[in-house]
Amino acid sequence: MKLKHHFCVAPMLEWTDRHERYLLRLISKHALLYTEMVTTGALIHGDIDRHLRFNAEEHPVALQLGGSDPRDMALCAKIAEDYGYDEVNINVGCPSDRVQHGAFGACLMAQAELVAENIAAMKKSVAIPVTVKNRIAIDEMPEYETLHNFLQRVSQAGCHTFIIHARKAWLKGLSPKQNRDVPPLNYELVYQMKREFPQLEIIINGGIKTLEECQQHLKQVDGVMMGREVYHNPFVMSHVDKLLYGDKEITQVSEIEVLEKYIEYMQSQLDQGVFLKHMSRHLLGLFAGKPGAKAWRRHISENAYKSGAGIEVIQQAVKYIDNK
């Protein structure tokens, strides 16, 4: 199956876990969903199933890997493929200290050669697509030259798809959170890369908040990736299938229909011993902007963590929403 990257949901640590992805899939059939980053160390030395298990309904779903040792990355890509993931993606964007210490994430923007070696090794070990999510540069490095050189070298090794978070990362002085807001966005440079490498699939990421903005970007590049806005307001993607994938057959779902299906899912997970709070936290933004949304959020936040909490917490919370 050829994966379609028109609309992707960003990998977000602690946020895009399997429960969140299940919820998002109820809203869009076609969006390509990314997991949280999983490090090669966690997979090779840790509990593989805990890190990799996902629901069959989540397809198409991509695993994001953090690492830079070609042998480890090739091994982990194979594990991901055997697990049923549709794509593996390399993290070349995460600026956190812990990650810098392990020599992967955004610091790899200065090591295009090493990323190329990883791509070559991974492509040898799997048949699913191997993609990269990167920044435009780091620290004092010049934006155009760094990004151009990176795309050229890494694509020569066989990478066809690049997701570009359209800002630099400052590895010294800014926190990971500041690194998602402070360095200015440079969408124009990403557009320019698509013009200079027309054969590559270029996905743009960073600061995108509406489907109208997505449509504007899609005039210049092949796909868009949204992160925080989708998490805080998942219904922003309710028209993705129709507007961005051209699926005319799609029947539009409402927030309440999505909630009913997610309740069924939560019940089956509760029966398997999963705590309500791990699933209900993803629901806080479901009614974003609707009257009663604040009381809905408050009720869930104040009650879902209690021991023995079940579906009744959600059923009570939804009573606060007017105009369901």
Ligand X SMILES: Cc1cc2nc3c(=O)[nH]c(=O)nc-3n(C[C@H](O)[C@H](O)[C@H](O)COP(=O)(O)O)c2cc1C
Does residue 284 touch ligand X according to CB under 6 A?
no
Return d(Cα 205, Cα 32) in angstroms, integer.
Answer: 14
**Which helix (DSSP H) or strand (DSSP E) does residue 284 occupy?**
none
Size of the site for ligand X (CB under 6 A): 23
Question: Using CB under 6 A, which residues numbered 40 to 69 contact ligand X?
Answer: 64
Given the complex with ligand X, which of 91 and 280 has the nearer CB atom? 91
Given the complex with ligand X, which of 225 and 259 has the nearer CB atom? 225
Binder among 6, 7, 8, 12 for ligand X (CB under 6 A): 12
Supply the minimum distance, in Å, between the C-beta of residue 67 and ligand X.
12
Question: Using CB under 6 A, which residues numbered 161 to 180 contact ligand X?
Answer: 165, 180
Q: 94 catalytic, yes or no?
A: yes
Q: What is the CA radius of gyration of the chain?
A: 20
Given the complex with ligand X, which of 60 and 183 has the nearer CB atom? 183
Please give the backbone phi and psi of residue 131, each rounded to the nearest 5 degrees, phi first: -120, 170
Given the complex with ligand X, which of 97 and 312 has the nearer CB atom? 97
Strand ranges in the chain using DSSP code E only, listed in sequence order: 7-9, 32-39, 61-66, 87-92, 130-134, 161-165, 201-205, 223-226
Residues in the chain: 324
Supply the minimum distance, in Å, between the C-beta of residue 151 and ligand X.
17
Please give the backbone phi and psi of residue 118, each rounded to the nearest 5 degrees, phi first: -65, -45
Given the complex with ligand X, which of 125 and 205 has the nearer CB atom? 205
Structure tokens given for 176:
């990971």
Q: Please tell me which residue in 8, 94, 107, 214 is annotated as part of the active site.
A: 94
Binding mask 67-106 for ligand X (x = CB under 6 A): ------------------------x-xx------------
Q: What is the largest CA-CA distance in the chain?
A: 57
Question: Using CB under 6 A, which residues numbered 193 to 252 contact ligand X?
Answer: 205-208, 226-229
Q: Is 73 left (phi over 0), alpha (psi -120 to 50) or beta?
A: alpha
Supply the minimum distance, in Å, between the C-beta of residue 74 and ligand X.
20
Given the complex with ligand X, which of 92 and 286 has the nearer CB atom? 92
CA distances from residue 190 to 28, 167, 292 in whole angstroms, order as listed = 26, 10, 40
CA-nearest of 23, 19, 78, 17 to 51 is: 17
Supply the minimum distance, in Å, between the C-beta of residue 322 and ligand X.
29
Supply the minimum distance, in Å, between the C-beta of residue 22 and ligand X.
18
Please give the backbone phi and psi of residue 25, each rounded to the nearest 5 degrees, phi first: -65, -25
Supply the minimum distance, in Å, between the C-beta of residue 176 and ligand X.
8
CA distances from residue 176 to 16, 41, 46, 98 in whole angstroms, order as listed = 17, 21, 25, 11
Chain residue whose CB lies nearest ligand X: 227
Does residue 133 touch ligand X according to CB under 6 A?
yes
| Residues involved in catalysis | 94
Binding site for ligand X (CB under 6 A): 10-15, 36-37, 64, 91, 93-94, 133, 165, 180, 205-208, 226-229
